[in-house]
Structure 1
Amino acid sequence: MNILVINAGSSSLKSSLFQVVEGKVDATPLWQAQVDFTYRPEETLIQTRRRGGGWVSFPSIPPQAGINGLAPLFQSLWQGEEALLPGAKAIDAIGHRVVHGGSLYQRPTQISPIVEQTIEQLIPLAPAHNPAALEGIRLLGHLAPGIPQVAVFDTAFHQQMPAAAALYPLPYAWAEQGIRRYGFHGINHEYCARRAAELLNRPLSELRLITCHLGNGCSLAAIRGGKSVDTTMGYTPLEGLMMGSRSGSVDPGILIHQLRQGMSVEELDRILNRESGLKGVSGLSSDMRTVLEAMEAGHKRAELAFDLFIHRLRSQIGSMLMNLDRLDALVFSGGIGENSAPVRAATCADLGFLGIQIDPVLNAGSPRNCDISTFDAAVRVLVISAQEDWAIATACQAVLQGE
């Protein structure tokens, strides 16, 4: 069985082709593609690589062509002399990451016209993400008709949160209208929980974890026995931690004030989602690497942005801790979580009273899928590489096998 995964974002797309070997999805893809629609004003960066090889450029398309312009990229898998899998039928299933599934979808689901329609209806809840997923679903449905497609929802993992964690202290009628906390990054939070159990060699059912997905978007999850009991993102991906260009949680009175001062809803939306966070505070970039480089050069606002990011991260780790009766491991994942030793060090500093103590040598050594705690620490600190595409492929396989 061969499973193609499409992970479409608001300005980028990742795709991987996985092979099922002896009943399990091989963790190393046969083929990968990465697409950046914001590379240049008139150019999309498209790169591909086959297993064991390096990245090579694929002919570019105008950014305005969007995901539909990627038809030749996917067709190259089954058409032409160098096709990896000649014939579209060589692909047995296609899995899609869909950011928002609302309250309707609590598990990966095979896509039907009704599911497709529901994803479209949920666009107002994830306007930067669900349209891209829908475009990918429709494109592959056209290019490879008859091949089953599966939606894997970022919100699904958090749908079992208790009502006290899921609801807002607003008029209950709003909750009946679907205004509640959904949570996001669930695919990676769930994967990290399972991978942590493997690394710790303990049953997932007995573990108490806090998983930190830190990238351009950031969220935490409190996981008890493999189930999410709380998370930092809410009705939209804007709530919670300070992020690359998103504000995270702020006093809603500030937003009311700005609206009363004449700011439009569209401008407020743009500022909160695209001009805040690391970018807004530092005035430089939404990329933590740029902020750290500027800090080393003495840039004061970069230092402030970093301090604010760490303060809010530590505060909300504390909030997650209150939903667990103990903590067995703190997990770092995502682009920042996996690659930024300064962020991990600052987050864990002076947490010995919680049993958290990291080894500075291990932390600085580009760790991957390992424990960076000191040998005697009561709470383990793990760095786990995000494997969203593999997790999507595995979920896709389970759906097709009726599991």
Structure 2
Amino acid sequence: MSQPSSPSSTNDAVLVVNAGSSTLKFALYPRETPQASGSAYPGAYAGGQIDGLQPGGQLRLCPADGAARALDAPAAASDRERFDLALAAMRAHLAATAPQAQVVAVAHRVVHGGSFCTKPVALDDALIARLATLEPLAPLHQPHNLAGVRALQRAYPALMQVGCFDTAFHAGMPALEQRYALPRALHDEGLRRYGFHGLSYEYLMQVLRRHSERATGRVLMAHLGSGASLCAARSGRSIASSMGFSALDGLMMGSRCGQLDPGILLHLWRAGWELPRVERLLYKESGLLGVSGLSGDLRHLRAAARDGHAEAVEAIALFGHRLKRESGALVATLGGLDLLAFTGGIGEHDAQVRADLAEGLAYLGVRLDAEANLAADGSRSLPIHAADSRVQVWVVPTDEGRVAAQAAWQLIEPADAA
């Protein structure tokens, strides 16, 4: 894998990265995406992730289509040194698996773009510094996203770094949907609803438009994973999100609380809780993990529930209840429902979650084909509605990286044509 030797080449590729607190996910996308249905990274030359970036973690390279292997890292290595070791392993892996590819840009998933980044943009130091002011709004993601940008700047100093924002898909939501019932001055300071998981929802809309005439109607999309949200869309555009000012709002998640009465926070502060403890509670100790006391992973809770663990049963039931409750609110915003789509680790793989929500929305005419629902395993996009269902239901494996790569190409192409 090399950097480009000519302005335009059939081997040109965009490197897409998603830097988190403990992982670096990456994929290399060509200019013209080949059809690779069923691939873990559809349309990508190659991909994978580096695990163990957190202090004390064991660095491991996990290729998309191969066995994981440990990486050597000095015990006293700093965070920056560990990240640079991860980048070196990533580059070596991509050079070995896609030697023909010439990287022309790096596209980054950045969770929060605020009110000033409402579409993909080329990143420079000034904009990165401005995006860093949003870190309190997404403390689990934004600092690590931006650390990844800075590290890739060092690794590829001659290349365009493109920021692709999870909030951007929701930037055109109606004004009433964006506003909280707070003083106007606070709204003007940026205390408003933003919505997240936008790259995933943008990809879903692309797929749904190819497969269903209903995609331009009243669509409810459910991105269900360790982070979870719902998006209501009409005419292919977001009109409401279950998430708001931060990625805490809305649905119950793996370790995040979802919607919460702010009076609980006032109570905790009066009881002497300080900010770091409250933040840890809301982001890392609540949700499925907090209710079950076992795990934030729904797969583990399913197994525990089968063994009779009452708290696991309750956590699963509460997850489904909150999903139904929030879905009803967004369906009301849409004024009905034409299409329901599931994605994310839970949405793509947990047939029971899909069946439970379909049952909860049966009053709308939602009917599943039980066999199709069980067969949908996230390997490809599939309809799972019954023949007599008034609402189409789809399972769509998401590909946020492809959306980020598309955004980078759109920024690159005018320069290529000049």
Alpha-carbon distance change, 272 to 104 in structure 1, aligned in 2, over 3 angstroms:
same
**Match of residue 339 from structure 1:** 349
Task: Indicate if the aligned counterparts of 1:75 and 1:143 stay in contact, CA closer than 8 A.
Answer: no
1:198 aligns with 2:210: yes
Query: What is the Cα-based RMSD across aligned positions, in Å?
Result: 2.3
Q: Partner of 1:247: helix, strand, or coil?
A: coil
Letter of the 2:250 counterpart: G
Identity of aligned residues (%): 36
Distance in 2 (CA, whole Å) between partners of 1:83 and 1:191 is: 26
User: SS of 2:340's equivalent?
Assistant: strand
SS at match of 1:401: helix
2:15, 2:29 within 8 Å by CA — same for their partners in 1? yes
Q: State the AA in 2 paired with 1:310.
A: G
User: Where does residue 369 of structure 1 map in the other structure?
Assistant: 381
Number of residue pairs matched by the alignment: 394
The answer to whether the 8 A contact 1:193-1:209 is kept is no
TM-score using structure 1 length: 0.92
User: In the TM superposition, what is the alpha-carbon distance from 1:7 to its structure 2 partner?
Assistant: 1.0
Among 325, 331, 349, the alignment partner of 2:335 is 325
CA-CA distance at 1:74 after TM superposition: 3.5
Give the residue type in structure 1 aligned to 2:290.
G
Q: 1:303 aligns with which of 313, 330, 333?
A: 313
Q: Distance in 2 between matches of 1:357 and 1:273?
A: 35
- Residue aligning to 1:243: 253
- Specify the code of the residue in structure 2 equivalent to 1:362: A
Separation in 1, partners of 2:115, 2:54 = 35
1:278 to 273, 282, 288: 288
- Separation (CA, whole Å) in 2 of partners of 1:383 and 1:279: 26
CA distance in 1 between counterparts of 2:368 and 2:51 reads: 35
1:210 aligns with 2:225: no
Pairs within 5 Å for 1:63-212:
65=79, 66-76=82-92, 82=96, 84-85=98-99, 90-200=102-212, 202=213, 204=215, 206-212=216-222
Q: CA deviation at 1:264?
A: 1.1
The corresponding residue for 1:381 is 393
- Name 2:410's counterpart in structure 1: 398
Q: CA deviation at 1:329?
A: 0.6
CA change 1:56–1:43 in 2 (3 A) is: closer
Aligned-partner SS, 2:31: strand
Measured after TM superposition, the shift of residue 196 of structure 1 is 1.4
Q: Spell out, residue by residue over 1:177-227, the C-alpha distance to the aligned partner (whole angstroms, 9 max, x if none).
A: 111111110000111122112221x275x3210000000000000001111
SS of 1:295's partner is: helix
Q: Which amino acid aligns with 1:281?
A: V
Paired AA for residue 57 in structure 1: R
Residue 166 (structure 1) shift: 0.6
1:16 aligned onto 2:27:
yes
Distance 1:391 1:106, change over 3 A: same
- SS of the residue corresponding to residue 59 of structure 2 reads strand
**3-state DSSP class of the match of 1:92?**
strand
Secondary structure at the aligned position of 1:21 is classed as: coil
**Post-superposition shift, 1:22?**
7.8
Question: What TM-score do the two structures reach when normalised by structure 2?
Answer: 0.88
